[in-house]
Structure 1
Amino acid sequence: MFENLLPPLNEHNLPYPDTIHPIVVHFVIAMVIFAVLCDVVGYLTRNVRLYEVSWWNMFFATISIFIAVIFGQVEAGLSEPYDAAIPVLNLHTLLGWSLAGIISALTGWRYVIRSHDPKQLPFPYLLAGLLLLGLVFFQTYLGDKLVWVYGLHTVPVVDAIREGTL
C-alpha cells in the first residue's frame, strides 16, 4: 500500500545515493572523543576554557546522535540482514539507542554542573566520560563489523540478497 509513496531502491538498497548514518555518526564519535579529551586535559592542566569547548561538543553530539540513530534505524530496516549479521545489528541498534540516552544524560548533568560553576568539573563526571568513550569505541567496532565483515548496504551483498544466494 505504501510502497508507491517511496522512491525506488538503488544498488545499495536505499532510496538515496548512499548511507547517511555513517556520515552523521562520525560527527558524534569525533565530538564525544574531543569533548572527553578536552575535559581530561582541562582537568589536568586546570585550563577551564577547555570545559567550554567540551560543553559545546557534548551539546551538538546530543543533537547529532538522534539524527544518526534515526538514519541508522531506517538503513537497518532497508539492509535486509542475513542470519549471521542479525545479532551484531541488534546489539548495534540497542547500544545506539542506549548511547543516545547516555549522551543526553551526561549532557544534562554537564549543563547542571556548568550552571552552578563553569570552572569546576567533578571527578565522577570525568569517569563517566571515560566510560562513555569505552561504549563509543565498542559501538564503532560493531558498526565497522556490520560494514566490513557483513557488508550491509554494499553492492555485492545487496546483489546476493536480491538473487537469493545469501
Structure 2
Amino acid sequence: MLELLPPLNDHNLPWMDTIHPIVVHFVIAMGLITFVFDLIGVVTRRPALFEVSFWNLLFATAAIFVAIMFGQIEAGLANPYGASRDILNLHSTIGWSLAGVLSLMSGWRYVIRSKDPHQLPLAFLGAGGLLSALIVLQVTLGNQLIWVYGLHTVPVVQAMRSGLV
C-alpha cells in the first residue's frame, strides 16, 4: 500500500512545498479584517462594513478547515524534535480551537445579522478582539516552527535524514 504514495521530496512532503501556510494566510487575513471592519463599522456608524465583515468571517471559517487538514498532514511528516514537539502540539490544539471559535462566531453573527444587520452588539466586538488575539498567538507559534525550528526546510530535513537532529 505504501508504494502507492508519492515519494517524499527535499521538504519531506509528497507535494512541492508546504500548503498549510498558503491556506492559513487566508484565515489570518480574513479573521483579522473581520474584527477591523466591525470596529470601523461601529465607530463610524457604517453598517455596510458589517456585511463585508460577515462574509470574511464565513470564508475564514471555511478556510480554517482546509488549513487544518493540510496542517495535520504536514505536521505528521514534519518529524518535530526537541521543544518543537511541544510548540507543534500547542499550535495544533489552538488551530482546532480556532476552528471551533470561528464556527461559533459565524453562527452567532448569522443570528445577529438575521435580527438586525445594522447593529452589532459590543459583546460580539469583544469576542472579535479575543479572536484576533488568538490568531496573533497562533501566528507566533507557527512562525517559531518555521523560523526557529525550521520544520520542512531543506537543511533541517537533510540533517534529520542524516541523523544529526
TM-score by length of 2: 0.99
Distance 2:19 2:26 in 1: 12
Q: CA deviation at 1:5?
A: 1.8
Letter in 2 for 1:47: R
**RMSD, matched Cα:** 0.5
The aligned residue for residue 159 of structure 2 is: 160
Letter in 1 for 2:122: F
The aligned residue for residue 31 of structure 2 is: 32
The aligned residue for residue 67 of structure 1 is: 66
The answer for unaligned runs of 5 or more in structure 1 is none
Distance 1:84 1:43 in 2: 42
Distance 2:49 2:33 in 1: 10
Indicate whether 1:13 and 2:7 are aligned: no
Q: CA deviation at 1:84?
A: 2.2
Distance 1:89 1:32 in 2: 21
Offset from partner CA, 1:77-136 (integer Å, 9 cap, x none)? 000111221000000000000000001100110000001111110000000000000000
User: Counterpart of 1:118 in 2: which secondary structure?
Assistant: coil
Distance 2:2 2:21 in 1: 25
**Number of residue equivalences:** 165
User: Counterpart of 1:85 in 2: which secondary structure?
Assistant: helix
Letter in 2 for 1:159: Q
Distance 2:142 2:124 in 1: 27
Distance 2:146 2:98 in 1: 20
The answer for unaligned runs of 5 or more in structure 2 is none
Letter in 2 for 1:53: V
Q: CA deviation at 1:41?
A: 0.3
Poorly superposed stretches of 4+, deviation over 3 Å: none
TM-score by length of 1: 0.98
